[in-house]
Structure 1
Amino acid sequence: MHRPTDVPRHSIYYRYQVHQPWLPQGAAVQPRAQVVIVGSGPAGLVAALELARHGVPSIVLESELQVSLGSRAIVFTRRSMEILQQVGVADRMTAAGLPWRFGNSFYRGQRVFRMEAPHDPDDRFFPMLNVQQQYLEEYLVDACAAQPLIELRWGNRLVGITQQASHAELRIDTPGGEYTLPTDWVVAADGGRSPLRTMLDLKLEGASYEGFFVIADIRVDLPLPTERLAFFDPDWNPGNTVLMHREPHGIWRVDYQLPAGETPEQALQPESLKARIDASLAMVGHAGAPWEMDWASVYSARTLTLPDYRSGRVLFTGDAAHLLPIFGVRGANTAFQDSQSLGWHLAHVVKGLAGERLLANYSAERVGAAREIIDEAGKSTRFMTPPTRGFQLLRDAVLSLSLQHAFVRPLYHWRTSRPHEYTHSQLNATGDDDALFTAGPARGAPPRNVRLGPNDYLLDHLGGGFDLLYFSTADALPPALQAEIDTVKASGVAVRVTAIGAAAVAGADTCLTDPDGHLRARYGVGSTGAAYLLRPDQHVCGRWLTLDATRLRAAFATALPR
């Protein structure tokens, strides 16, 4: 019988809530569910909220009774915040977090590179926001609790799975005994050590790096800005790398590479932690500053992915699907994009609005995204922790040259996580006018936010289904186009029409006047009748200088294959 601990986890800044376990009440077999999500980390909870936004209920299984131990993911990108805005927690994240956009690399006491992430008035969110993962999970749990289509079952541990052609049967252990839960679909969001991945005997592909890193969260008063600090080859840790980040509530993340020959077990001994943290504080000019430990762990850099994120009735997302190095804030930020994509793909299949081949597109797109990230992250990882003597020599040459030669300093850039562009997606409209545009988000790219007024942005008006941005100064949509939109809506597909250019447009759900033409300029539109079609994950699947009913009908037939 599963016995999750009911003792609140220790933290010097976060108060853990212990939830009551969900018990089967004697029923050996539960009613069949449409979707069961295994894991209540960020990937699982975002997937549940995305499914609910599309009207699909889900059951979330969590083996523990409280949110995750330790700060874990602490840096969230602008695109992640845009996704979290869609599921209703961005405001709480913004209120709790520390925004930033600069990163600094040091060598031999000299700053040799300063990264500046772009930020302009059209951006609602900063490039990066620091918040500990416990708070993110708390906000997502609260959002799920407020959503009647989501049932979160605490203290429920998956112990077995049997797959049939049309469904899966899950065997689940709880403090009240075991039960069986049949379900049409399973979402594996059970983390880097995914039990579901093990049960299905699936193997990750890619590389693991030999170096180990300690991450330690300490409470310490440092009069330093919220900027990433990276120290290469410091005196106290020669040949290795040390990273430091400010977190909310007076917490600092100290992240350092283990010296050669030291085991993870040795590195987590109190005397070892104290010596390295003291040395790190001295390195930033605050030797002897009093500090208090909250949490520490050891990790290694890995660039691994499943080759297919679907296995029968099981769909993988987040760390269960791939393991990515944290350099460049890629872990949780990639998981949000996975789960947002999975949510709309699976919802349209469950609702009968597309065939199961749509799920193959989810896998192809997100595996492609993982492989792109692995390629980028591998460069950063090999710089941080050279895997061979040759890479070590190259890294040392860059370090040495950077003291006097500016041309090598961009090699320090940590290639921050960015949203993947589905340039070659099978859902993209064929024969649109993408190649004729000279500005705006390209086919397959995420949307570009635009400031419309005080605390009012374009993305505030989008979401929940497909979005058609129609640029026109006319007082009504063309009759044939309106008829086609009505036909799509009548089929059950959610489509929201945003007319841009006139105060009132018959047939549009929202009208944005764009008096200074700024929105049209950002989207490269100058003519009446131009349009963008955004998928439910807001990526552009077609754009036209002139849109008519025939072209829109073809775009939907491609985006929702039957």
Structure 2
Amino acid sequence: MSRSFKPYPFTPRHYAGEVPQLVDGCDPVRRAVAIVGGGPVGMTLALALARQGVRSVLIEADDGVCTGSRAICISRRSLEIFKRLGVVQGFLQKGLPWTGGRSFYRDAEVFRFAMHQDDEQSLPPMINIAQYQIEQLLLDEVEQHADLIDIRWQTRVTGIEHHTGNGATLDLSTGDAAWQMHADWVVACDGGRSTIREALGLKLTGTTYEGRYVIVDIELESERATERLAYFDPPSNPGSTVLVHKQPDNVWRIDYQLRDDEDPEAAVKPENVMPRVQSVLDSMGETGEWSPIWITVYKANALTLERYRHGSVLFAGDAAHLVPIFGVRGANSGIDDADNLGWKLSCVVNGIASDRLLDSYSDERVFAARENLSYGMKSTEFMAPPSFAFDLMRQAVLGLALHHPAVRPLINPRQTHAIAYAESPLNRIAAVASGAFAKGPGPGTVLPECRLQRLCDGVPVDIHLTDLLGPCFTALRFGADTAQDEAWQQLHHALGEHSIPFKAITLVKGDVPRASVPHVLDPAGRLHEMLDATPGTVYLIRPDGHVLARWRNGNATNVQSAVTASLTI
């Protein structure tokens, strides 16, 4: 079967590698933050720092955004992060939203799953969008912050010298020029083959799976709905597992498992790939013309560093952990890394926090990685059984699922979700106060979404809770206690004098007279109910959307103490 390859329906921009004016072979400008790797994680971090006025330099080996088939699914949690960074609209306009998927065993459907979605949500649970599109949307925003974000394209890190307590020196190569850069902080976002990690002699630990998948991107015009499709032992590809995702611009991603006796090098040759893809499309009932775009092979890893902070060098994304693709936790967990690190590193660079705050980044994100790995490993062991015993178990589950609905949840792909930092050192700041609540998100947990209203010239306008959150500490005051207003104003002023980003928002139920509504209305009292809030309740939210503390009867003094304690932990 002869089919010509088509390019992706995307025209990337290319950037020249430029070297700054050097003094004795070194950039004379000492950088506050050097970010190695200009992918989704590195650019998200640079934007998070810029929102706090922190300058950074992005060091990227390529001459533009990535090529090929990489991350394709962005979760609601990542979209919430992009919303706080002011870039979410491009993702919503370009991405294809989806809420669930179907799994088939041979030719019968055995499982359907649906991710949480209701009228309270402002964002879809998942969108499909190619990584080159993700990077371009982020790059467009990065270029709007050229005063704070410097990009060094076509520049490779060739070495690093870590100075204990005094930053690091990076050895760099741009074309034929070798030069150095000094930085107070270096963040390695340089992927699974991290140069920084290797240079420091650090090793990922965990599990590497032998099973391999061929990943194929094709162009196919189809009206089929966007959903995750999984085929186990399909008649078209006996003994294989096949995953199918629809992407924007008529691009489809097809992943299929290789049998143990198949040679990976031979398996990615077009003459072997094309018939497999055609058989998948035939079984789906897709009859349209199609063309291949990209072919590669993938091997699942479940690995992590033990710590993500090593003095003034920090790790994020694939440089810190490698998560199996099943459950789409790879890019999403890296974006969460950048969000967590962004506010903490900004506070340290801006001189309002002790650098010990960065240890909590490592604590929280290592905890998150281990949770992601545990789910990812379970999914991998079902999708690509690593042994005869796992394969036997999967066959039994799939066979029983045909006639026994109670077994079907075992096929659940365990999609990525927001992780609560249950063991975070920051949670101890107000742990006693949090015990007064019967339910609701405790310290370390991401706030749930909720539909609210804001009065504009006396007219209620629909908004969402995530619209109120920004890259700052946010206090949610429940109930209009005007006697405390002056104390809250003084708190805002006191924190502002120390350049600590903060705002307080008062929320009241819908039965409060309109004339006395000071800020935001909870029309049906749903947010009050979800947060177990009564008049006087205060929730303090971190800049990354996680709960820092909560009080049944809180005040400005409680909040000031908690913010100060978090920054001096």
TM-score range, shorter chain: over 0.9
Q: Distance in 2 between matches of 1:225 and 1:134?
A: 23
Helix, strand or coil: the match of 1:411?
helix
Comparing 112-121 with 24-33, which one deviates more in the overlay?
24-33
Match 1:520 to one of 510, 514, 528: 528
Matched residue, 2:425: 426
Matched residue, 1:52: 50
Deviations 1:416-451 (A, max 9, x none): 111110122111233443233234322211112222
Helix, strand or coil: the match of 2:92?
helix
Offset at 1:505?
Answer: 8.8
Matched residue, 1:340: 339
Q: Distance in 2 between matches of 1:336 and 1:455?
A: 28
- 1:12 and 2:18 equivalent? no
- Relative to 1, partners in 2 of residues 1:174 and 1:239: Cα closer, same or farther, differing over 3 Å? same
Offset at 1:374?
Answer: 0.8
- 1:460 and 2:467 equivalent? yes
Task: State whether residues 452 and 523 of structure 2, in contact with CA within 8 Å, keep that contact through their aligned partners in structure 1.
Answer: no
Taking structure 1 as the reference length, the TM-score comes to 0.94
Task: State whether residues 440 and 532 of structure 2, in contact with CA within 8 Å, keep that contact through their aligned partners in structure 1.
Answer: yes
Match 1:141 to one of 139, 142, 160: 139
Q: Distance in 1 between matches of 2:445 and 2:357?
A: 19
Task: State whether residues 62 and 154 of structure 2, in contact with CA within 8 Å, keep that contact through their aligned partners in structure 1.
Answer: yes
Q: Distance in 2 between matches of 1:515 and 1:399?
A: 46
Matched residue, 2:302: 303
Offset at 1:294?
Answer: 1.1
Matched residue, 1:6: none
Q: Distance in 2 between matches of 1:393 and 1:71?
A: 32
Task: State whether residues 538 and 555 of structure 2, in contact with CA within 8 Å, keep that contact through their aligned partners in structure 1.
Answer: no
Q: Distance in 1 between matches of 2:464 and 2:174?
A: 45
Deviations 1:76-125 (A, max 9, x none): 11111010111222100100111111210001211100001110111111
- Relative to 1, partners in 2 of residues 1:524 and 1:393: Cα closer, same or farther, differing over 3 Å? same
Q: Distance in 2 between matches of 1:363 and 1:230?
A: 35
Deviations 1:498-525 (A, max 9, x none): 111277999xxx8213344333233221
Offset at 1:142?
Answer: 1.0
Alignment of 1:389-400 (within 5 A): 389-400=388-399
- 1:540 and 2:547 equivalent? yes
Q: Distance in 2 between matches of 1:284 and 1:388?
A: 29
Matched residue, 2:188: 188
Letter in 1 for 2:109: R
Matched residue, 2:357: 358
Task: State whether residues 451 and 463 of structure 2, in contact with CA within 8 Å, keep that contact through their aligned partners in structure 1.
Answer: yes
Matched residue, 1:4: none
Matched residue, 2:60: 62
Alignment of 1:339-418 (within 5 A): 339-418=338-417
Offset at 1:26?
Answer: 4.8
Task: State whether residues 169 and 180 of structure 1, in contact with CA within 8 Å, keep that contact through their aligned partners in structure 2.
Answer: yes
Helix, strand or coil: the match of 1:427?
helix
Matched residue, 1:101: 99
Offset at 1:176?
Answer: 5.6
Matched residue, 2:458: none
Letter in 2 for 1:145: E
Q: Distance in 2 between matches of 1:50 and 1:326?
A: 25
Match 1:470 to one of 477, 498, 511: 477
Structure 1, gaps ≥5 residues long:
1-8
Matched residue, 1:227: 227
How large is the RMSD of aligned CA atoms in angstroms? 2.0
- Relative to 1, partners in 2 of residues 1:307 and 1:241: Cα closer, same or farther, differing over 3 Å? same
Task: State whether residues 466 and 534 of structure 1, in contact with CA within 8 Å, keep that contact through their aligned partners in structure 2.
Answer: yes
Offset at 1:540?
Answer: 0.1
Equivalences, count: 549
Q: Distance in 2 between matches of 1:514 and 1:118?
A: 21
Task: State whether residues 24 and 177 of structure 1, in contact with CA within 8 Å, keep that contact through their aligned partners in structure 2.
Answer: no
Helix, strand or coil: the match of 1:477?
helix
Comparing 49-58 with 11-20, which one deviates more in the overlay?
11-20
Task: State whether residues 24 and 179 of structure 1, in contact with CA within 8 Å, keep that contact through their aligned partners in structure 2.
Answer: no
Offset at 1:327?
Answer: 0.5
Offset at 1:482?
Answer: 4.3
Letter in 1 for 2:367: G
Structure 2, gaps ≥5 residues long:
454-460
Letter in 2 for 1:328: G
Taking structure 2 as the reference length, the TM-score comes to 0.93
Q: Distance in 1 between matches of 2:414 and 2:290?
A: 31
- 1:204 and 2:204 equivalent? yes
Alignment of 1:35-184 (within 5 A): 35-147=33-145, 148-165=147-164, 166-175=166-175, 177-184=177-184
Comparing 543-552 with 305-314, which one deviates more in the overlay?
543-552
Offset at 1:350?
Answer: 1.3
Q: Distance in 2 between matches of 1:146 and 1:221?
A: 34
Q: Distance in 1 between matches of 2:303 and 2:354?
A: 29
Task: State whether residues 505 and 511 of structure 1, in contact with CA within 8 Å, keep that contact through their aligned partners in structure 2.
Answer: no
Q: Distance in 1 between matches of 2:42 and 2:197?
A: 15
Q: Distance in 2 between matches of 1:236 and 1:513?
A: 55
Task: State whether residues 12 and 294 of structure 1, in contact with CA within 8 Å, keep that contact through their aligned partners in structure 2.
Answer: yes
Q: Distance in 1 between matches of 2:527 and 2:552?
A: 15
Letter in 1 for 2:26: V
Comparing 495-504 with 80-89, which one deviates more in the overlay?
495-504
Offset at 1:162?
Answer: 0.6
Deviations 1:368-387 (A, max 9, x none): 00001111111111001111
Matched residue, 1:499: 506
Matched residue, 2:257: 257
Letter in 2 for 1:344: W
Matched residue, 2:214: 214
Q: Distance in 2 between matches of 1:455 and 1:193?
A: 46
Q: Distance in 1 between matches of 2:247 and 2:269?
A: 24
Q: Distance in 1 between matches of 2:400 and 2:431?
A: 50
Q: Distance in 2 between matches of 1:280 and 1:388?
A: 25
Helix, strand or coil: the match of 2:231?
strand
Letter in 2 for 1:17: R
Q: Distance in 2 between matches of 1:34 and 1:445?
A: 30
- Relative to 1, partners in 2 of residues 1:433 and 1:263: Cα closer, same or farther, differing over 3 Å? same
Offset at 1:236?
Answer: 3.7
Q: Distance in 1 between matches of 2:334 and 2:343?
A: 15
- Relative to 1, partners in 2 of residues 1:274 and 1:449: Cα closer, same or farther, differing over 3 Å? same
Letter in 2 for 1:312: G
Offset at 1:172?
Answer: 0.9
Match 2:18 to one of 12, 15, 22: 22
Offset at 1:479?
Answer: 4.2
Q: Distance in 2 between matches of 1:490 and 1:405?
A: 64
Q: Distance in 2 between matches of 1:64 and 1:322?
A: 22
Deviations 1:240-279 (A, max 9, x none): 2100011111111111001222222111101011011011
Letter in 2 for 1:33: R
Letter in 2 for 1:371: R
Offset at 1:483?
Answer: 3.6
Deviations 1:182-236 (A, max 9, x none): 0000010001111111111110010011100011110113332111110001234
Letter in 1 for 2:75: T
Task: State whether residues 440 and 524 of structure 1, in contact with CA within 8 Å, keep that contact through their aligned partners in structure 2.
Answer: yes
